[in-house]
Amino acid sequence: MKTESIIINDRLIIEDYLNISDRHRVLFIDIETTGLSAHNSYIYMIGSVSYKGDDLIFTSMLAESASEEEQLLKSLIESLKDYDFLIHYNGLTFDLPFIDSRCAVYGLKADICSYKSLDIYKQVSSLKYILNLPKCRQKDIEQYMGIAREDKYSGGELINVYKEYIKTGDAELYKLLFTHNYEDVTGMVRIMPMLSYTALFAGNFTVTGIDYDSYTSYSGKDVKELLIGLKSAFLVPVPFSLNKDGCFLTYKGNTGTLKVPVYNDEFKYFYEDYKDYYYLTKEDMAVHKSVAIYVDKEYRQKAKASNCYTRKSGEFLPEWEPIYAPIFKPEYNSRQMYFEVLSSLSEDTDRLKDYAIHIIRHMQ
């Protein structure tokens, strides 16, 4: 079995992304196999990255024949004693079950699927449409972040390279195998900042303040927007923007601005207990039955849910869930809801953050 370890130049403060007490108990791991099925193929290479003091160390272990897989797995099991948290890319689906299956062949027990772990793929796959990623392979994420690779091969393409290597021991073929595994594992380290996006979309930011902006659009329409300033704990690696239904989010570094349209309009507030109301046909509004008894029967009718409302004019902000109340709508069945803009909005920082989270999730 061939083993090689080198210090990598990347600097990663992993505590920024994980709630851990000891970074030295964290292991990045990736495997290379001779096929996709653990029943008729085997693991020929395992790459890992871990902390040694302040340094990040990459270690590769290569089985130079099929008979060395058992030794490879035993070495892995021994090294796992030093770690209790794993980081991988699609490892929950492939790497970890594959390792446990191959260990079972030799009567070994790694039980690696039971480890606490972070599957980077599971985290970043939710970003595919938000960030306009073509696919969510690790190489796609690296390309999005501007990370260049020397390796030009896929894992599948290297199977034949490995088979040729175990026949010939050619150093150039080994270099191809090593480079691919090295860049797969160290690539995980380099794309960890992608978790900044998932943290941001989960609401891990603070609201730094609000303001209003008014301008005239190209069509000559007067436009007013609510501007919400945002700040997160760490940097997003690539600036981005989102927009939907007139709402815009722009983010760069660790700060962003959320723009929400302010509607100067008339909307309806619908009473829930419509059976206690009458609808006044001339006034186009509902009033409580205690008041409606004084209105001529010709101009009143028992209210229905759809016409049990009062109308209100003013400035409103949109919402798709009841974050702020009272809730106003254009019509009873409208999914779009609104709440009235109040001067006290800037003082309600907790609910203002809830509102920002609500808008951002609606745009995803």
Total number of domains in the chain: 3
| Assigned domain for 360 exists | no
Residue 137 sits in a domain of what CATH number?
A: 3.30.420.10
Q: Residues 69, 209: one domain?
A: no
CA of residue 221 relative to chain centroid, distance:
36
Q: What percent of the chain has pLDDT over 90?
A: 81
Is 220 a residue whose pLDDT tops 90? no
pLDDT in tens, 7-40: 887 777 777 778 788 889 999 999 999 999 999 9
The answer as to whether 358 is a domain residue is no
Residue 328 is given by DSSP the state: B
Q: Domain check: are 136 and 186 in the same one?
A: yes
Do residues 215 and 88 both lie within one domain? no
Grade residue 262 by pLDDT with cuts at 50, 70 and 90.
very high
Which pLDDT score is estimated for 265? 95
Q: Is 233 in the same domain as 267?
A: no
Looking at residue 16, what is its pLDDT?
A: 75
State the pTM of this model.
0.85
Instruction: Look at residue 19 in the predicted model and tell me its pLDDT.
Output: 78
Residue 154 lies in a domain: yes
Q: 172-207, pLDDT tens digit by residue?
A: 999 999 999 999 999 999 999 999 999 999 999 999
- The answer to whether position 123 is within a domain reads yes
pLDDT tens for residues 241-255?
999 999 999 999 999
Is residue 357 one of the residues assigned to a domain?
no
Same-domain pairing of 177 and 324: no
Mean pLDDT across 344-359: 87
**What number is the average pLDDT over the span 163-167?**
95
Among residues 129, 123, 127, the alpha carbon closest in space to that of 89 is found at 123
Confidence of residue 167 (pLDDT cuts 50, 70, 90): very high
174 and 239 co-located in one domain:
no
Angle at 147 between CA 141 and CA 153, to 5 degrees: 75
Confidence of residue 295 (pLDDT cuts 50, 70, 90): very high
Average pLDDT over residues 97-117: 96
Indicate if 100 and 11 belong to the same structural domain. yes
Domain assignment present for residue 149? The answer is yes
Within this chain, do residues 187 and 108 fall inside the same structural domain, yes or no?
A: yes
Query: CA separation (Å) from 248 to 129, 173, 310?
Result: 16, 50, 31
Range of the structural domain that residue 325 is part of: 263-348
Residue 192 lies in a domain: yes
Residue whose token pair is 């509102």 = 355
Cα atoms found within 13 Å of the Cα of residue 349, Cβ hemisphere only = 7
* Distance between first and last Cα of the chain: 48
The answer on 343 and 288 residing in a single domain is yes
- Residues 164 and 78 reside in one and the same domain: yes
Residue 154 and residue 24 share a domain: yes
Task: Report CA Rg, the chain.
Answer: 29
Contacts of 138 (CB under 8 A, 6+ apart): 89, 120, 121, 184, 187, 188, 191
Of 180, 198, 216, the residue that ends a domain is 198
In a domain, 364, yes or no: no
